[in-house]
């Protein structure tokens, strides 16, 4: 049931942003619903071409970036693995600790943006992300 709700959340975000829900877009939502970890654009492309062999890499990449801008996906840049995406958690505001070795991600609710910030000019913040990269406890023990 939770999987269906996550997929519906992604589809609802697409609809809210004026997207027509095609079978390919439904499959994109399904891919990120069934995957817990991070996917590179190439990973998503490879999964999409199984069912849609004519889909272009550019189309997949463009859709991933747009879904990220809409808030349906979170994007992260890994030093070794490049840009990767995963489904967003839309239930509460949190930030991430990300292991650079195994990509395990832990969430934490502390938000540095809740402290008073002195910003130059009349800068108005509309969104933010905060990720901390390091090595998880398991990888430290294996080293």
Is 102 known as a binding-site position? yes
**Dist CA 119 CA 137 (whole Å):** 36
- What 3-state class would DSSP assign to 11? helix
136 is in an annotated binding site: yes
Query: How many whole angstroms separate alpha carbon 96 and alpha carbon 67?
Result: 19
Residue 114 annotated as binding site:
yes
Say whether 89 counts as a known binding-site residue: no
Show Cβ contacts of residue 134 under 8 Å, excluding neighbours closer than 6 positions: 97, 98, 99, 100
Is 128 labeled as ligand-binding? yes
126: left (phi over 0), alpha (psi -120 to 50) or beta: alpha
Q: Which residues contact 66 (CB under 8 A, 6 or more apart)?
A: 17
Residues of each annotated binding site: 93, 99, 102, 114, 128, 136, 139
| Known binding positions for Fe cation | 93, 114, 128
Residues making up the binding site for Zn(2+) = 99, 102, 136, 139
């Amino acid at each position: 049931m939770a999987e269906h709700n996550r997929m519906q959340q992604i589809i609802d975000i697409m609809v809210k942003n004026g997207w027509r829900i095609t079978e390919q877009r439904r499959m994109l939502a399904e891919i990120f619903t069934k995957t817990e970890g991070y996917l590179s654009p190439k990973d998503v492309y490879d999964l999409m071409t199984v069912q849609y062999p004519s889909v272009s890499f550019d189309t997949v990449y463009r859709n991933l970036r747009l879904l990220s801008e809409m808030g349906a996906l979170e994007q992260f840049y890994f030093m070794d693995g490049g840009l990767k995406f995963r489904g967003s958690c839309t239930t509460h505001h949190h930030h991430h600790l990300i292991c650079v070795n195994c990509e395990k991600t832990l969430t934490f609710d502390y938000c540095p943006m809740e402290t008073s910030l002195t910003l130059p000019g009349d800068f108005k913040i509309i969104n933010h992300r905060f990720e901390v990269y390091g090595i998880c406890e398991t990888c430290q023990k294996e080293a």
